[in-house]
Homo-oligomer: A and B are copies of this chain.
């Protein structure tokens, strides 16, 4: 059983009033429709009809329109597969069908399928694998085709994609007449592995394996790095850089995670979305390779590589919001501990898609190693940078997720972006969200369910005709306790593993959780999961088992950053949520909260803010702050060099200022002036 969220999502039904059900409903009701309209109005929808569009005039703008359409189509299918609102769904369903027809109709006889290289630059196919997103587009089309087949139970989209894969497989590979290359923007690798898992198509598997193992080979093309040789074949000068300014220096192959073979990479580098898509595939290759017959080679060293790069990322290159990528120029990773909060401080990108990529990689790592350290970060990204990438009404988005806004980068949402990766990426992620909540394994009569995320929902499995349902009831992320009810027959042995988040606080008696009814044996978390064995679950079939974390875990707490970040700041968190302040609740703010300091000793006060759009009660946190005037920051001549020495804190403009914090995901939902900050100077 492949257990991809993209395939298992339908086993989950969300309780209608739950936190995520509300958000998924708005995506179905609003996002799918407004994005369809934008796909149409921008020319993307009709693009597969292969007519000229004015946007093509610049020669580059439509380079990855294929992927924009594919991600929407993928997202649409998840919702169609699951939701029942015939009137709403009809429009979406018809669009998916029309798109499928157009996509299939755009395929060349030999299998090739790509808008840009068919209509804008015919004749140049596969001449710039490094920069031009050709295989990236193919990957997203494959992903769309996989859910299309699953939902429609026909092969109208997957057949063209299998044909395209055959073409790609014939062109790329180690053979003397083949291209020894691999995509500059990984994506097809993870899609090919899923295609193999679905169809058993060995060419898909071999192609993914080739792309992953060949990547970064210093001698791939006639003794030199493939990207150097490919550039030479295009008659580029040595050191010539791609269009756009993503490469700060010549031959910056680390931008594409191709500076050395993956197994030799010691730190996570370059474009963060590319890194996450690549490592998602690498982790999946490790898992799949174990099962492929005949044995196709040992890939366990790639698991170590994934772990090393994951740890480097999480411990040294990730914002406490779950954002990654501190450098805007290459939309990616900086050096260790370089995590400025915003442009004015020297960086911060934290693309929404990159945090979606974190979820993808974390989910695959959990398949290799059930360790809460992956689920913790998956949850962190989901509740903060991924959820925050979309507005409450599902119609506006954020591409970058800064931790502090400034005049040049106010905190404001947009309806769409020229480079439109993020909005439909959120759509498809929310579409398959049920698949992220839990994963399951069945071996004969033994059923194991691993619960990663808490939300009121029901998982329904069919074990050789025997139904198993596990229902969870909770007010997560606002409140602590979660009740589980298992329903199945005594013939099955059901093991349930529940995640104990790393941020949970110990109660006064020192325990991190409370289980009711009390088990007869001591339950200790292993890698942050507790195991409810069949003896226990069978005793309590049909009646609730309640997991409760201490109430302090769902009270505001203060986070500091690693000292090496040079961020002497405090951030408020509560449960899985990171908080920020914005001007809507703090109308006095004029300087993006730069001059406001808070203390970790202050007593936070909670309030409720009722959001009308989703009928949500948003918990806000108020704490006192101090606002410093000029004096705090004024450089003084006396006693120091001008411009450097700073006066003691004497010029307090306002004490006991009330600073109201809201969840980070909720920012930019009410008309404001764009002032927002996560980390406040620490008193």
Contact = CB atoms under 8 A, between A and B. Distances in A.
A334 interface: yes
Interface in A334-365: 334-338, 340, 344-346
Contacts of A249: 245, 248, 329
A637 B527 CA distance: 11
A124 interface: no
Interface stretch (A97-105, A215-223, A313-321): A313-321
Max count, chain B CB within 10 A of own CB: residue among A241, A245, A346, A502: A346
A518 to B, nearest CB: 24
Interface in A622-647: 632-633, 635, 637-646
Max count, chain B CB within 10 A of own CB: residue among A243, A314, A335, A641: A641
B564 A566 contact: no
A681 interface: yes
A450 interface: no
Contacts of A336: 344
Contact of A345 (B318, B338, B644): B338
Contacts of A681: 563
Contacts of A642: 314-315, 373, 376-377, 502
Given A502-B638, A505-B638, A642-B314, A239 B243 contact: yes
A62 to B, nearest CB: 21
A319 to B, nearest CB: 9
A154 to B, nearest CB: 44
A213 interface: no
Interface stretch (A6-14, A204-212, A487-495, A553-561): A553-561
A506 B646 contact: no
A398 interface: no
B567 A638 contact: no
Given A637-B502, A641-B376, A643-B318, A563 B245 contact: no
Interface pairs A-B: 10 shortest CB-CB: A245-B249, A315-B643, A502-B637, A248-B248, A568-B568, A320-B644, A338-B346, A566-B566, A560-B646, A314-B643
8 contacts: A241-B250, A314-B642, A315-B635, A502-B641, A505-B638, A559-B640, A563-B632, A563-B646
